[in-house]
């Protein structure tokens, strides 16, 4: 096998069909399913995908590592269920694989991000390079609990043609995702012994995120949708730190209780 496509799924029946249709050219499709209860796996079987059920540590790094272990191809392409491989990207990947003396063992792919049904060009949404294509023998592993990164041996190249990313359709979906991932981010910061959150620190977090999205990355150039999304990113960042604060308060209360009991 030359190319294995790896997709991580959990209840992706709304998105998986569109993704699989753009991967029919791959030598194999590996689905690493992390607990779907909808029709995701039934749909995947129609496209002759090989489904690997995984119930180990819950992180994208571990899920991608499972895909690395299961894939049989010489090259691995990681694609999310809400992403689409364009014909031009497919051809560029095939051309790369056919080059016997390429110096690159990994490639970063740009993404065109569609949010609220509109393509965003600002606010950090373009070119949004993602390291997703690897020679299997060079990819050691993925690391990181939230923002996973690949560890590979060799040179990184940059692909010209983009993935399409149907990022968010509704605010409800965005809020649900923020609630899940802010728990993880808050816990990681707490475990790293982040300084106690104060009013000044909360203000600093919000202002820095606003400056990044609205001023430096000029999210307003994407119109009303761009402004809404940028402000949502400020909110999302704030929530992560608020959950850190919540953990710090609980920890302080436990320590105070222990100290009180000890003194008694």
What pLDDT is recorded for position 152?
Answer: 97
Please tell me whether the overall predicted TM-score, pTM, comes out greater than 0.75 for this model.
yes
What stretches of 123-170 show up as alpha helix (H) in DSSP? none
What pLDDT is recorded for position 34?
Answer: 94
What pLDDT is recorded for position 153?
Answer: 97
What pLDDT is recorded for position 205?
Answer: 97
What pLDDT is recorded for position 264?
Answer: 59
Phi, psi of 84 (to 5 degrees): -135, 135
DSSP letter at 212 equals I
What pLDDT is recorded for position 94?
Answer: 95
Mean pLDDT by 10 residues, the chain (264 residues): 95 96 97 96 96 86 96 98 98 92 92 95 96 98 90 97 91 90 92 95 97 97 96 96 96 82 66
What pLDDT is recorded for position 260?
Answer: 72
Residue 21's nearest CA partner among 41, 55, 48 is 48
Domains of the chain, with CATH numbers?
Answer: 3-167 (3.90.550.10), 170-263 (no CATH)
What pLDDT is recorded for position 263?
Answer: 66
Q: Yes or no: say if 84 and 166 are a contact pair by the CB < 8 Å rule.
A: yes
Count of beta carbons in the 10 Å neighbourhood of residue 100: 5
């Amino acid at each position: 096998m030359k190319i294995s496509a790896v997709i991580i799924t959990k209840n992706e029946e709304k998105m998986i069909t569109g993704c699989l249709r753009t991967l029919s050219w791959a030598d194999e499709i590996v689905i690493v399913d992390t607990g779907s209860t909808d029709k995701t796996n039934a749909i995947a079987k129609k496209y002759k995908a090989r489904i690997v059920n995984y119930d180990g540590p819950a992180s994208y790094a571990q899920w991608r590592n499972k895909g690395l272990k299961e894939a049989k191809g010489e090259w691995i392409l990681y694609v999310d269920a809400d992403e689409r491989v364009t014909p031009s990207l497919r051809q560029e990947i095939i051309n790369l694989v056919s080059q016997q003396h390429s110096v690159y063992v990994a490639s970063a792919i740009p993404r065109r991000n569609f949010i609220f049904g509109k393509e965003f060009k600002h606010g950090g949404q373009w070119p949004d390079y993602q390291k997703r294509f690897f020679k299997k023998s060079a990819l050691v592993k993925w690391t990181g609990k939230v923002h996973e990164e690949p560890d590979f041996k060799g040179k990184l190249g940059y692909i010209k043609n983009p993935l399409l990313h149907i990022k968010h359709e509704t605010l409800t979906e965005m809020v649900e995702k923020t609630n899940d991932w802010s728990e993880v981010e808050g816990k990681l910061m707490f475990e790293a012994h982040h300084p106690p959150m104060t009013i000044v620190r909360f203000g600093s977090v919000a202002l820095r995120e606003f400056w990044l999205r609205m001023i430096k990355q000029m999210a307003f150039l994407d119109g009303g949708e761009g402004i809404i999304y940028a402000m949502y990113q400020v909110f999302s960042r704030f929530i992560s730190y608020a959950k850190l604060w919540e953990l710090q308060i609980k920890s302080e209360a436990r320590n105070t209780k222990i100290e009180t009991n000890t003194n008694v």
